[in-house]
Amino acid sequence: MHILTINGPNLDLLGSREKDIYGKDNLESIENQLHKVARELKISIDCKQSNHEGEIVDWIGQAKDKIDGIIINPAGYTHTSVAIRDAISAVNIPTIEVHLSNVHAREEFRRHSFIVSVCVGQICGFGASSYELALRGLILLLSK
């Protein structure tokens, strides 16, 4: 089983930005934890991050017929990107949307996701653990 994790804009700044919202973990430590869990589950995982919408769309398109599942934290693109939403819909790969913070308890504009309607689920509010929860949930879903 092969999983792709995609992180959107500004997530490369984790660990140094708004720690009260996003926590102290940086993206590298989150990815290291995902790789550890992937080894435990005997699956492979690729982790990518981009601040550029088109690059994220390209990665999703290139995943077709190569990737079994996607975990995506679209970050700010959650609330703006029909292009990322359409790419996920087009490849028909089970996808889980992840957020570190509870977006539903934050500003009103963060409560709307263009992405979630084409995902099998959404996990938010558990900090860095949101990624591990998404990975374990996705593997359970794909194993059925």
pLDDT band at residue 18 under the 50/70/90 scheme? low
Task: Specify whether the CB–CB gap between 114 and 86 falls below 8 A.
Answer: no
CA 72 from chain centre, in angstroms, equals 2
35 part of the active site: no
Closest Cα to residue 34, out of 130, 144, 126? 130
pLDDT at position 130? 96
The alpha helices in the chain, defined as continuous H runs, are 19-22, 27-41, 53-63, 82-91, 129-143
Lookup: tokens for 11: 């997530």
Of 2, 35, 52, 99, catalytic: 99
Looking at residue 67, its pLDDT comes to: 98
Residue 24 has pLDDT above 90, yes or no: no
Residue-wise pLDDT for 64-123, tens only, equals 999 999 999 999 999 999 999 999 999 999 999 999 988 887 778 777 899 999 999 999
Q: Total structural domains in the chain?
A: 1
- Measure the CA–CA gap between 16 and 33, rounded to whole angstroms: 19
The single-letter code of the amino acid at 103 is: V
Phi, psi (deg, nearest 5) at residue 17 = -110, 135
Query: Measured in whole angstroms, how far is the alpha carbon of residue 54 from the centre of its chain?
Result: 16
Instruction: Give CA angle at 86 (84, 88), nearest 5°.
Output: 70
Active-site position among 22, 52, 77, 112: 22
Total residue length of the chain: 144
To the query of whether residue 99 is one of the catalytic residues in this protein, the response is: yes
Domain that holds residue 74: 2-143
| CATH number of the domain where residue 64 is located | 3.40.50.9100
Handedness of CA 76, 78, 84, 86 (dihedral sign): negative
